[in-house]
Amino acid sequence: MVAARNTLWEAKTSNYWRLNVSLGQLAADYEQNGFAVIESAIAPSDLDSIKIAAQDIVESFDVSKHRSVFSTQHQDKDRDKYFIDSAEAVHCFLEEHALDESGELNRPKDRAINKIGHAMHDLVPAFTEFCRLPIFAETMHALGFQTPELWQTMYIFKQPQIGGEVRWHQDASYLIANNTGVIGCWIAIEDASKSNGCLWVEPGGHHSPLREIYEVSADAPTGELRPLDDTPWPDESKALAVEVPAGSIVLFSDRLPHSSSQNFSDRSRQAFTMHFTDHSSQWSDKNWLQRRHLSPFLLA
Ligand SMILES: O=C(O)CCC(=O)C(=O)O
């Protein structure tokens, strides 16, 4: 069944996708390394559907109203109300290097956005349809989630020349789900290589301790990043660059240390990410991301 999918785009509902690895192998890779890759899995037409939807969001974004920068460089101290509210909305965040000293954009808007987050799957039909491609439910089932629940989506631009570094981190520092944990699903919308800021991971690093935690308390508008463990982040001898062609899927554990460097090249490195739990998990009420109004987004 799986082997038959190896070379052909297979029709699934109205969409096409392919699986270049057996689901058993995928689960074994994930278990052993803390991440697994399915190369060139998503059809170009499906990638285009969300690429265009992301451009539309950027076009209607009013920069004069929201100058919220997304950067991982300052201990997450700049997470403001606009950021927290994006849990149930579609908000654009700027690149740190896209603003001049007086806070004005130093380049066109469509070259200045760092990312869009975090509820496109609920609120933008093209994203809803994309997230419901059967390959995502199938891979989540293969990794042990019976009823995958999608909590957040991000469209990351990694703009040419200024696309900001994402420092080493573990997703469990930001998205705490007891019992089952969180699985990150990262999709290359464009080719990703070292030169344009691909993902870096520490194979096997999902067994290392959780190094820090970002929690919010009911009486504070934003959260705080606290150190938990002083295990160092991986150095060059332990880090692996995940260079993949457009359409590839990278699945990773919430304990896996991962990062991406600044994009100094002239090519963007767009990616779309989804973070899943199983519906049986216990979502921490100290997570910054809470869905108080939106219904659970479940995959069958
Ligand atoms: O795409 C990137 O540069 C980083 C993505 C990431 O860290 C995540 O999805 O957890």
- As a whole number of angstroms, the distance between CA 248 and CA 244 comes to 6
Question: Would you mind telling me the total number of residues written for the chain in this entry?
Answer: 300
**pLDDT, position 103:** 84
- Identify the bridge partners of residue 277 per DSSP, sorted by sequence position: 149
Beta bridge partners of 90: 118
The pLDDT value given to residue 3? 37
179, with CB counted inside 10 A (0-12, 13-18, 19+), is exposed
Residues 6+ apart with CB under 8 A from 88: 119, 122, 291, 292, 293, 294
CA pair distance 144, 136, nearest whole angstrom: 12
DSSP label at 113? Answer: E
pTM of the model: 0.92
Q: Select the CATH number that applies to the domain covering 23-298 from these four: 3.40.50.880, 3.40.1260.10, 2.60.120.620, 3.40.640.10.
A: 2.60.120.620
Instruction: Say which residue the tokens 């037409």 belong to.
Output: 45
Ligand 1 center from residue 186 Cα (angstroms)? 7
Gap from CA of 3 to ligand 1 centroid (Å): 30
Q: Is 263 in the pocket of ligand 1 (CB under 6 A)?
A: no
Contact 246, 39 (CB under 8 A): no
Cβ proximity of 151 and 122 under 8 Å: no
Q: Whose CA is nearest to atom 10 of ligand 1?
A: 171
Domain locations along the chain: 23-298
Quote the pLDDT of residue 13: 41
Q: CA 41 to CA 15: how far, in whole Å?
A: 12
Q: Is the CB of 201 under 6 A from ligand 1?
A: no
Nearest residue by C-alpha to atom 9 in ligand 1: 273
Q: Is the CB of 250 under 6 A from ligand 1?
A: no
User: What token pair was written down for 246?
Assistant: 């457009």
Answer yes or no: is the C-beta of 173 below 6 A from any ligand 1 atom.
no
For 25-59, the pLDDT digits (tens) are 999 999 999 999 999 999 999 999 999 999 999 99
Does residue 121 have a cis bond before it (omega within 30 degrees)?
no
Tokens, residue 60 = 């209607």
- CB distance 171 to ligand 1 below 6 Å: yes
For residue 49, the one-letter residue type is S
Can you list the residues of the chain whose pLDDT is less than 70?
Answer: 1-18, 71-78, 221
Mutate to test the pocket of ligand 1, among 156, 248, 259 (most ligand atoms within 8 A of CB): 156
